[in-house]
Structure 1
Amino acid sequence: MKRRKRILAVILSCAMAAATLAGCNSAGNSSSGGNTDNSGNVNTGEGKVKLTALFVKHSLTKDLNTMQWLTDLEEKYNVEIEWQQISADWDQKKSAMFASGEIPDLLFGATVDSDYVQYNGLFEDMKPLIEQYAPNIQSMFKEVPATEVMATTMEGKIFGIPSYKSLWPQTVGTTFINKEWLDAVNMEVPTTWDELEKVLKAFKEQDANGNGDPNDEIPMDFNGGFEGGFSAIHLLSSTGMQVSADQDGYFVQDGKVQNYYIDERFKRVMKFVQRLWSQGLINEEAVTQDYSKYQSLARGEGTTAKVGFTWGWESGDRFGNEVQGQYVSVPPIKENEDTENVRYAYDFYGQNYVSNRVAMSAKCKDKEAAMKFVDGFYDELVSMQVLFGGMNDIDICIKDNGDGSYEVLPPADTDLDPGTWKWTNSFADNGAFYIRDGLKLKLGSDMQRVKEEKSVYDDCLSAVDRNKDVFPQLFMKYTQEDTNSLAMNQANIDNIVDQTWSAWMTDSSRDIDAEWDSFVESVKNSGLTQNLEIRQKAYDEYLKTVE
């Protein structure tokens, strides 16, 4: 689950942190040329190969060296990994590291496509290595061809290996409202923006949580501006716009690639949230808070909830065990009664296909050993453990039923909800894995709730035409020149957009209507016009592959 940190950087003007890491290490002579026995164990007959690796992990994730399944994987492939673990500010740290030319042998969840262009020569083209040493990854490419498409550059190279699963739903964020608060103020689940505003005002003014303090309720909260799955992007869906999370504002309508930050519907959303903010109905830290703060706030104090209306993955993950039962899912909200074809964010591609889960340093001394170790993550049984935690007596996250089926176990720590337990004990969604279609795996109670809670969006999402309504960024291809232009332009676009929307929302004296044309022109001139042309060309080429 990706979280945008750039807003905080803009608001607080954070300085870039420097980070360095010693380059690739190896245990002298290559020790990866041994045979593989029937069990899949790599037998080298020599000392372990020493590799360095970096993992950009979730803030909840525990020390990787305490994960038994990972220790077992290293033992199986006869490698000793020196892990560097990054849980915050990677976007700021990686520039200094990559510019130094000294990076770890393996990088998990640490790269994006533009890195391979900007730092040309720093990363290894793994295509030949995959063909020679990675049968599991080859199987993924063969069985799910789209994964090879998304991994391969226009020049036929592979710098980043993706992950795949078909277990996750079609949307990231569920809209939640506190039903007990609604009952307390004698109101119903809102269906339009006007109704939502009235409900939020009642939450603020009527001591909705009933603890005697009329000032501790937060009527509405979100995270990630207008980008992530738990952001205010869902208000754009209210207007009838089909969007997807984490696409830098790009969407497709009537065969044309557009950007919602310069769309009139975004202006209407901004005027709405400005009005809510001016009445104290939105968390005053919504612009600057990180994801951890966003999560902890919604978990309340004991059985006293603090947040009324918000977005999250599922109720247990969002609100914790104490107050989750107070919340219900909210069906798609319309902008007004006249809104037709109300939509909801469609995120199946982003949820189930994730690019660049692993990259390799071009300086890695033992590429064969490194590639075999990476391929181990894509083994059928290991992949389950990468995502959900270990299947052993120490990790106690998955049960082998002995009949070819498996079961995700409840948290061994009963104080933790299933989502927190998963993110603590595994690489989770940030990992490198291949979850096979048809895998007989009974998911945990949290994922069962996910399916149930998101069922209110089934009608909206079933109407989505993937080939016409969805911006397929993961599968679109660009030349190195275009990739570089997109990245540089986007940095300029983001700077203008992030400063402007946050200022508009939090300063009611700003006249959005009066400033709109100038804003649109400045965004276009900052590089959006060129980016739209580049993306349109790539989108047209993509459509030819699905005709």
Structure 2
Amino acid sequence: MKKKLSIAIGGFLTASMMLTACGGTTSSTEPTSGSAEDDYKVATVRWADWGEDYHKGFPDQAAAEAGINITWNTILNSDWGDKKAVLLAGGNLPDAFVGSICFTETDILTNAGTFIALDDYIDEYMPNLKKIMEEDETMRALATSADGHIYGLPSKKPCRPTVANQMFINKVWLDNLGLSVPTTYDEYVEVLRAFRDEDANGNGDPTDEIPFGQGYADSVMFFCLPFGTTIGADSTYMMAVQDGKPVYLPITDNYKDGIKAMHECFEEGLIDPEIFTEDTSMRDAKLMSETPIVGSAPGWTADATFGANADQYAALPALVGPDGNQYISSDPEHWNYSRYEFVVTSDCKDPGPLLAWADKFYSEDASIQNFYGAFGVGVEKDESAGTYKVLEPNDGNSADTFAWIKSLRDFGPKYVADGFNDKVSYAGENGDAAKLLLDKDVKQYACEAYPNVSYTPDQLNTLATLYADLEAYVSSNQATWVADGGLDEQWDKYISQLEMMGINDFLQIQQDAYDCYNANK
């Protein structure tokens, strides 16, 4: 599972008492000169108090090579909420922030004068990034805001899959019942019927099995995936691209057919009757029950979805749907690429050397170290072969936690070209390795996703109110149609109501943003 967490990065506040109050810590690179002009303050956020090792590898080494001194301000995520508004209203700013979720696009575009445009600095101080953006049109389109300027540096992470969340099925249950892994939607439904009717988990109770349950992804859209509901990342407004045109999935025939099919399964008792009403604790209790009771559900990986029961589950193949096609949920431009990974504030007196330092992050060596840890700590490089091995943790932590402790992990500038993942191996068990292994079997079914577009401030303001109402109406009807049916009779009224609520304005915003994105390539 990839949980979408809402975080932001706190500023380096000049007053040390304010730093202490918000739980921040500071540390500096070894001075390379005595000039104050070479000193920069950089702020970032951490999920937990993992110490300062994350910057002591490549980031600090690169700063020394660049001849600058970095004073790091590490802010705990839990402390940022109370400080953000004050900072944007005129608090003392650091020179830069690292991390794509430090500020939303709305924050950046509506606070004119707080964050500087980087276009000219990239041309002069960032040859690595400039070359990358010339060769990878996605990086340029992603970095360019709706007003044509670049306010934050983009990133493409290493060792990220093509497939996003996916469906899993209990392989032990299949074996217990003498069934094969389904390969089509119709076969999948037959398997769910067997899970319903028989003692699939072998505990002597043939009534405690839940054939399909809520997982760690949109369970409705993933159940309907064989019908073409190719949902992307969480922040894409349920948009997709079909025949080169942006579409809103909840008004497509794919969605309509999928919901009708899901209702039939709901009526048959193949779907958890509490799927629309249970909270996350109820969901987790079912997914991680001591005796497994959920036959199938969506998530990121089996271990992230089913916990201690993970070894019972296997990824479903991309099921052949009624139209004869196979679909997966794939959205690399949101999962693998990101924008605003490094923003420079108006308080920075000399951005050039700072951005020259950030430019050093745009290499394969830098990217994998900033994702797993420094060479000799998190990664080992074979210079002659040009390959990398991700090392096992040496401190007793999980591989994922160790990577967060020793590197910037998901945050900060990075870039690897297509094919880089083939150069990487893993010394031990690793969630990234497991996901990439799953990826090999289904990535060929990826289709174009709605890209990570940029909106104007006016568009963002409109979307903030317009989409909230649309989403609530769509969700209410979705639950009703899956549980009670009636979609065919109510569809025309549903579309008419969405039009009255402004769906055409919403679609025009998405089309305009999509056109702007493509124009920036």
Normalised to the residue count of structure 2, the TM-score between the two structures is 0.76
Q: Partner of 1:329 in structure 2?
A: 315
Q: Partner of 2:391 in structure 1?
A: 409
Contact 1:493 1:528 (8 Å CA) reproduced: yes
Q: Which moved more, 1:268-277 or 1:522-531?
A: 268-277
Q: What does 1:236-251 align with in structure 2 at a 5 Å threshold?
A: 236-240=224-228, 242-246=230-234, 247-251=236-240
Q: Secondary structure at the residue paired with 2:338?
A: strand
Among 132, 143, 150, the alignment partner of 1:158 is 150
Query: Is the alpha carbon distance of 1:316 and 1:4 closer, same or farther for their aligned partners in structure 2, counting shifts above 3 Å?
Result: closer
1:358 is aligned to 2:349:
no
Among 487, 494, 504, the alignment partner of 1:529 is 504
Query: Is the alpha carbon distance of 1:374 and 1:423 closer, same or farther for their aligned partners in structure 2, counting shifts above 3 Å?
Result: same
Tell me the amino acid that sits aligned with residue 76 of structure 2. Q
Contact 2:170 2:312 (8 Å CA) reproduced: yes
Structure 1 residue 296, shift from structure 2 partner: 8.9
Structure 2 unaligned spans of 5+ = 17-28
Tell me the amino acid that sits aligned with residue 453 of structure 1. L
Contact 2:98 2:412 (8 Å CA) reproduced: no
Distance 2:335 2:241 in 1: 19
Among 279, 298, 306, the alignment partner of 1:311 is 298
Distance 2:285 2:378 in 1: 24
Q: Partner of 1:85 in structure 2?
A: 76
Contact 1:166 1:437 (8 Å CA) reproduced: no
Structure 1 residue 514, shift from structure 2 partner: 4.5
Structure 1 residue 333, shift from structure 2 partner: 2.5
Among 443, 456, 463, the alignment partner of 2:425 is 443
1:347 is aligned to 2:331:
yes
Summarize deviations over 1:317-370 as a string: whole Å, max 9, x none: 5556x644433232222454xx33332233233343222223233345664565
Structure 1 residue 238, shift from structure 2 partner: 0.9
Structure 1 unaligned spans of 5+ = 7-16, 28-39, 465-469
Tell me the amino acid that sits aligned with residue 54 of structure 1. T
Tell me the amino acid that sits aligned with residue 84 of structure 1. I
Distance 1:269 1:378 in 2: 42
Query: Is the alpha carbon distance of 1:287 and 1:384 closer, same or farther for their aligned partners in structure 2, counting shifts above 3 Å?
Result: farther
Q: Partner of 2:24 in structure 1?
A: none
Distance 1:427 1:188 in 2: 42
Q: Secondary structure at the residue paired with 1:407?
A: strand
1:106 is aligned to 2:92:
no
Q: What does 1:449-488 align with in structure 2 at a 5 Å threshold?
A: 449-461=434-446, 464=447, 470-474=448-452, 476=453, 479-488=456-465
Q: What does 1:231-270 align with in structure 2 at a 5 Å threshold?
A: 231-240=219-228, 242-246=230-234, 247-270=236-259
Identity of aligned residues (%): 27
Contact 1:24 1:51 (8 Å CA) reproduced: no
Structure 1 residue 163, shift from structure 2 partner: 0.5
Distance 1:21 1:299 in 2: 36
Structure 1 residue 459, shift from structure 2 partner: 4.8
Q: Partner of 1:493 in structure 2?
A: 470
Query: Is the alpha carbon distance of 1:127 and 1:276 closer, same or farther for their aligned partners in structure 2, counting shifts above 3 Å?
Result: same
Normalised to the residue count of structure 1, the TM-score between the two structures is 0.73
Contact 1:26 1:50 (8 Å CA) reproduced: no
Q: What does 1:28-427 align with in structure 2 at a 5 Å threshold?
A: 43-46=32-35, 49=39, 51=41, 53-55=43-45, 63-67=50-54, 68-69=56-57, 72-73=60-61, 76=64, 77-86=68-77, 96=85, 100-102=89-91, 105-110=96-101, 111-165=103-157, 167-193=159-185, 195-203=187-195, 206-211=198-203, 217-223=209-215, 226=218, 231-240=219-228, 242-246=230-234, 247-274=236-263, 279=269, 281-282=271-272, 284=274, 298=287, 301=290, 305-319=292-306, 323-336=309-322, 339-364=323-348, 367=351, 370-372=354-356, 374-392=358-376, 396-403=377-384, 404-412=386-394, 416=398, 418-419=399-400, 421-422=402-403, 425-427=406-408
Structure 1 residue 259, shift from structure 2 partner: 0.5
Query: Is the alpha carbon distance of 1:156 and 1:273 closer, same or farther for their aligned partners in structure 2, counting shifts above 3 Å?
Result: same
Contact 1:69 1:390 (8 Å CA) reproduced: yes
Structure 1 residue 164, shift from structure 2 partner: 1.4
Q: Secondary structure at the residue paired with 1:529?
A: helix
Contact 1:407 1:442 (8 Å CA) reproduced: yes
Summarize deviations over 1:465-509 as a string: whole Å, max 9, x none: xxxxx24423x565554454445533443343345435655xx35
Distance 2:355 2:440 in 1: 40
Distance 2:149 2:339 in 1: 14
Q: Secondary structure at the residue paired with 1:356?
A: coil
